Structure formats: structure tokens, C-alpha cells
Structure 1
């Protein structure tokens, strides 16, 4: 292998990385309540988000709207969303609050740095119950 091949390969890799960045591929961090609402509205037909709580690490969120709650979590390079009907099952965890979705494949979602009181306030008319 000569220096031209090495330089060309490196340039191609950097060009592809730049294109991926411009297209926002692999960008799945939920960094604000507005972004969480946007993800939920895009994924769930007829859902209109009103309020949201985002995990400190940007890996999960809850969005209230239409009398239901959208649960979001990062899964690889994507954000997956599920609509849950009340009552939600909450469990206090050392790192925050865990929401039991009842789906085996989706699993439980932990909101780091979030308190049960914050989730209860988000719910409004949605009844929440705590599981021990």
C-alpha cells in the first residue's frame, strides 16, 4: 500500500463521516422537551404532545398528550416510541424513575434524574400508580 492509497482512503472516510453528520444520521439523543415532543408526534399518528420530561442522559423521555403518555427511549441510532394508556406503573429507582411498559420487547424505561413527583405532575389527568 502506498501513501496515495492511504491518503485517499482517509479522505473518503472523512467525507462519508461529514455527509452522515450533515444528514444527521445516527443522531438519537433526546436533548430537550421540545425534541421529545417532536419525536413522539412524528412516530405516533394523531398524537399531539403538550408536556414532556426528559432523562438527564438524553436516553429516555415521557410526553403527555391526548389523554395518553408517549414513552420514548434510544435504541441504537434510533428513538423508539410507544403510546401507553393510564394508569402507568412507576417504580422508584436509585438513578430516577422506571416506567413499566408491559411490553416484553420494549421493556421498562428508566428516566435518570427524574422524580416520581415530576412524572405525576406531567400526567395531569392521567392516573399514575407506584409499584414497589
Structure 2
């Protein structure tokens, strides 16, 4: 292999990486509560969101909706959503709170940097509406 071919291949790799970055491909961070509400409404049919908690790492969120709670989590380069009914089954972890979804393949969802009392307060808002 000559150096010109190696340099051309390397330049092509960087060009493709730049295009992917410009198009924001593979970016699935849940940035804030507004973004979490928007994502839940797009992914779940008939879901009207009005409150949310997002983990500080942007990998998971809980969103209040019309009688249900949506749980969002990063799944590879995309975000996946499931609809849960209260009361939520919570597990305290060192990093935050884990929410059990009841699905073996979806698993527990870790809300990094969130405490159980915040989740319970959000859950209580659902019963007030």
C-alpha cells in the first residue's frame, strides 16, 4: 500500500465523519424536559405529555401523559419508549433511581442523578390531574 492511497482513505473517513456530525446522525441524547415530552408524543400514539424528569446524563427520562407515564431510554443510536401505569416500581441505585418496566428485553431504566422523591412527586402529579 502506498502513502497516497492511505492518505486518501484517511481523508475520506474524516469527510464521512464530518458529514455524519453535520447531519447529527447517531445523536440520541435527551437534552431537557421539553425534548423528552416531544419525543414521547412522537413515539407513543395518543400520548399528550405535560411533565417530565430527565436523567442528568441524558440517557433516560420519565414523561407524564394522559393517565400513563412514558419511560424513554437510549437504545443504541435511537431512543426507545414504553408506556407504564402507576404505581412505578423503583429501585434505589448509587447513580440514581432505576425504574422497572416489566419487560425483560427493555429492562430497568436508570435515571442518572435523580432521587426517588423526585420520581414519586412526578408520579403524584398524575393522580392529581
- TM-score w.r.t. length of structure 2: 0.90
Mapping for residues 14-29 of structure 1, pairs under 5 Å: 14-29=14-29
Q: Which runs of 4+ in 1 moved over 6 A?
A: none
1:125 aligns to what?
Answer: 126
Structure 1 residues 117 and 86, CA gap change in structure 2 (3 angstroms): same
- In the alignment of these two chains, the number of paired residues is 127
Using the TM superposition, give the Cα deviation of residue 126 of structure 1 relative to its aligned residue in structure 2, in angstroms. Answer: 4.0
The 1:81–1:92 alpha-carbon spacing in structure 2 relative to 1, beyond 3 Å, is: same
Point out where structure 1 has 5 or more consecutive residues left out of the alignment.
128-132
Which structure features the higher share of helix residues? 2
- Unaligned regions of 5+ residues in structure 2, if any? none
Indicate the residue corresponding to 1:72 in structure 2: 72
- Cα RMSD over matched residues? 1.5
| SS, match of residue 99 in structure 1 | strand
Q: CA deviation at 1:57?
A: 1.3
CA contact (8 A) 1:61 1:72 kept: yes
Q: TM-score, normalised by structure 1?
A: 0.88
